[in-house]
Amino acid sequence: MAFKVNVLGVPVDPGTLSQARERVFSLLEEEKPGKSVFSINPEIVIAARKDEAFAEILKGGDLNLPDGVGIVWASRLLGKKVPDRVAGYDLVRELLPECARRKLKIFLLGGRPGVSREAKIKMENEFPGLNIVGTNHGYFTGDEIGKIREELQKADPDILLVGLGFPRQERFINEHAREIGIPVSIAVGGTLDGLAGKTKRAPKIFRRLGLEWLYRIVSLRRWDRFLSLPYFAFLVLWEKLRGGTIDA
């Protein structure tokens, strides 16, 4: 993962799940803290094109996962092959056994009230030795940011999983987690709901065919996401016609 590819202005790391896992642990070993891991999908790319400040945050990501079959398709069409989709949920699941072995401290931030606590219980039961040092729901207000920061400073986690939805989670990592000095913060979207057993992943056949997005649209009635995909495809095709570069 020595280079990044540029998908409509957003840099993406073209690696496999195992490479992403190793990259996270290498980030933990770097002397300077405040590293960030973001998941990039078509919706996020479109949002970044409309919000320059958000785009700059994504450009500063230390590891940008190609979390969407649309990202893989776009990269290949524009001339650089991203090997496969790397879902944020899969990355977290891949990290947990080694986190337990290394006794790394993890903090869960996000979800509805009670979700992160339920995720903590399930994760610790599934991965004996996993050290989750704190949880907090994602429905906090701006006035409560100071309290959240104090909790994080006191817990002193090695890894912070932030499930606030985009762009809020990326902004929180950029504005607060970096300043606090948390070694690695990972934007995980709805992963905490999945870890808590509140939502189900798409059946394997959908994931194998790269159609997990379709399952989510139908099961969660995410029609807004459905509408964003044709627009993303149009932008990619237009970039191809313009002869745009894919190099970040």
Domain ranges of the chain: 33-204
pLDDT digits (tens, 9 = 90+) for 207-246: 555 555 555 555 555 555 667 788 898 999 998 888 755 4
pLDDT digits (tens, 9 = 90+) for 145-198: 999 999 999 999 999 999 999 999 999 999 999 999 999 999 999 999 999 998
Q: What is the pLDDT of residue 248?
A: 46
Q: Is the pLDDT of residue 46 over 60?
A: yes
Please say whether the structural domain 33-204 has been given the CATH code 3.40.50.10660.
yes
Query: Other CB atoms closer than 10 Å to residue 236's CB: what's the count?
Result: 22
CA distances from 119 to 126, 147, 200 (A): 10, 22, 14
Q: Average pLDDT of the chain?
A: 89
Using CA atoms in the order 177, 181, 187, 189, what is the torsion angle rounded to 10 degrees?
A: -50
pLDDT digits (tens, 9 = 90+) for 64-122: 999 988 999 999 888 877 888 999 999 999 999 999 999 999 999 999 999 999 999 99
Q: What is the pLDDT of residue 209?
A: 54
Q: Which residue has the tokens 């202005």?
A: 9
Low-confidence winner among 21-25, 60-64, 220-224 (lowest mean pLDDT):
220-224
